Amino acid sequence: MKYSLIYNGTLIDGNGGKTLPEAVILIKNNMIVAVGTEDSISLPDEQIKKIDANGMFILPGFIDTHVHIMANGFKMEDTIHNPLSLYFYKAVENMHKTIDAGVTTVRDAGLADVGVKIAVEKEIITGPRIQISVMPLSISGGHFDFWLNSGFDIKVSYPGLPESLCDGEEEVRKRVREILRSGAEFIKVMVTGGVMSANDGPEHTQFTVEELKVMVQEGKYHDNVKVMAHGHGLEGIKNALKAGVHSIEHGTYLDNEAINMMIDQDTYLVPTCLVIKQNKKFAESGDLPEYSRAQALEIVDIHDKNIKNAYKAGVKIVMGTDCGVIPHGLNLRELGFLCDIGMSPQEAIMAGTKYAAECMGWQDKIGTVEPGKLADIIISKKDPILDIKSLGNPDNVLLVMKDGKIVKNLLN
């Protein structure tokens, strides 16, 4: 059957305009071909599969611009005891939880190789559409160096996964080229330390401006591949901005100068409020390693204040969660935290749809419910304009359609 028709629901299309009651969305194969009301759309004579939204709320599939599909907490004991194959089987479960939550596209910030992406594209496994970085870049002793001072290395590694560590401009250039060779669609770099680090802290600066410029340059040489920068500390963030990165992840210690640099350079901010808040809970309950607890508690209020300042100033903010560091399937809880920093529900929805698609460079394919886009659509039980936090509960996401195919249906 070529055609599907979603009807009898209120459409929130991702463009930020008024909602459309009694909306009708006509889909041919995997593409949206018409959006409107029942009396405004001409239906084809062919047989149509009809999907009754039952008076509920129709939205674009959401986009999480910062996840780790292959990770489940980066726990030292997992790396010691788990066989390699288990990481891939758990990734299948992680992807199912992600799409079940209403997220139909993700930007994977490290560890998912091209085979994981291909398996989803070939429908061998069910999961969100994936844009991959393959392996983050880190300095020796930096945020993605898992070597402990005991002499034990707790990193996950497997054939085809490039090395993460690089020091000096020429080694950086070689490592970027290896990552691009392995199928990376963007470059991920750690420009500061992080919370979940044994060897550094969030404020520690990593890589020089010159090293970062090499990454940006190599990306431009390779079909203008963008660079996303994990950055908590201020100096590292400013170094990344001076080098011309595409997005800053986390942004904890942003100041007014860095905020103005982001605005001037049209740089995206992915604040990952969810992981900051969730790690605080884990720290308070003793569920984080001892070396992470103080850092997790220390940055929460600082992050909250500075992200609010960035939003008020007009920095482009998009949804990302860092799921993988925290449990998968919680993704849309980020929308409520975006509203806590000052966004309206419509703005938060756009941050997780339209603007997230633009950040990924896929705005021609996904991000809104309108003709010419892929049919990535969800149906919510509750009105997210009135209760944005309701989307954070996957049980309220009753239908998920990705690429014209229904992958979750609790409507009936």
CATH number at residue 374: 2.30.40.10
In the predicted structure, residue 308 carries a pLDDT above the cut 90? yes
For residue 357, being part of any structural domain is answered with no
Q: What is the pLDDT of residue 21?
A: 97
For the cut 70, the answer to whether the pLDDT of residue 1 exceeds it is: no
272 is a domain residue: yes
Q: Give the Cβ contact number of residue 302 at 10 Å.
A: 15
The position carrying tokens 């055609």 is 3
pLDDT band at 257 (very low <50, low <70, confident <90, very high): very high
Tracing tokens 């600082």 back to the chain, one arrives at: 302
Flag whether pLDDT at 198 surpasses 80. no
Residues 96 and 159 placed together within one structural domain of the fold? yes
Point out the least confidently predicted range of 63-67, 276-280, 346-350, 377-381. Answer: 276-280
Do 267 and 325 belong together in one domain? yes
pLDDT digits (tens, 9 = 90+) for 228-256: 999 999 999 999 999 999 999 999 999 99
Summarised one tens digit per residue, pLDDT across range 49-97 is 999 999 999 999 999 999 999 999 877 777 778 898 999 999 999 999 9
Same-domain pairing of 55 and 101: no
pLDDT at 156 over 80: no
37 backbone φψ class: left, alpha, beta (φ>0; ψ -120 to 50): beta
Mean pLDDT for the chain overall: 94
Domain-ending residue, one of 306, 331, 356: 331
- Cβ burial 39-60 (10 Å sphere, 16+ → b, else e): eebeeeeeebeebebeebbbbb
In a domain, 347, yes or no: no
Structural domains counted in the chain: 2
From 282, 314, 331, the end of a domain falls on 331
The answer as to whether 348 is a domain residue is: no
CA 209 to chain centre: 25
**What Å distances lie between residue 216 and 50, 340, 351, CA to CA?**
47, 33, 25
What angle (nearest 5°) sits at the alpha carbon of residue 221, between those of residues 207 and 260? Answer: 50
Of the residues 273, 307, 331, the one at which a domain ends: 331
Give me the percent of the chain exceeding a pLDDT of 70.
97
- Tell me, yes or no, whether 39 and 77 share the same domain: no
Q: Considering the domain boundaries, does residue 378 fall inside one?
A: yes
Render 165-190 in DSSP notation, one character per residue: B--SHHHHHHHHHHHHHTT-SSEEEE
pLDDT in tens, 10-26: 999 999 999 999 999 99
Q: Please name the residue that has the structure tokens 């010691």.
A: 80
Residues 6 and 13: beta-carbon distance below 8 Å: no
- Model confidence pLDDT, tens digit, residues 199-217: 777 889 999 999 999 999 9
Residue 304: per-residue pLDDT: 97
- Is residue 364 scored above 70 in pLDDT? yes
Examine residue 355 and state whether it is found in any structural domain, yes or no.
Answer: no
Q: What is the largest CA-CA distance in the chain?
A: 71
Please, what is the Cα angle at 346 between 54 and 408, to 5 degrees? Answer: 40
pLDDT digits (tens, 9 = 90+) for 115-152: 999 999 999 999 999 999 999 999 999 988 876 677 66
Is there a single domain that holds both residue 108 and residue 201? yes
More confident residue, 159 or 313: 313
Beta bridge partners of 52: 7
Same domain assignment for residues 23 and 68: no
Residues 54, 133 within the same domain = no
**For residue 241, what is the enclosing H or E element?**
helix 234-243
Clarify whether residues 131 and 243 are in a common domain. Answer: yes
pLDDT-derived band at 29, boundaries 50, 70, 90 = very high
In this prediction, residue 261 carries a pLDDT of 98
Predicted pLDDT at 313 = 98
pLDDT in the model for residue 154: 67
Return the CATH number at 231.
Answer: 3.20.20.140
Residues 197 and 129 in one domain: yes
Same-domain pairing of 260 and 313:
yes
Q: Are residues 155 and 275 in the same domain?
A: yes
Q: Are residues 19 and 91 in the same domain?
A: no
Contact of 35 with 11, CB cutoff 8 Å: yes
pLDDT score recorded for residue 79 = 76
The bridge status of strand 48-52 relative to strand 103-108 is unpaired
Residue 17 lies inside a defined structural domain of this protein: yes
CA 82 – CA 72 distance, rounded (Å): 12
In a domain, 356, yes or no: no
**Does residue 182 have a pLDDT over 70?**
yes
Question: Can you tell me the mean pLDDT for 303-307?
Answer: 98
Domain carrying residue 169: 62-331
Q: What's phi and psi for 288, nearest 5 deg?
A: -110, 155
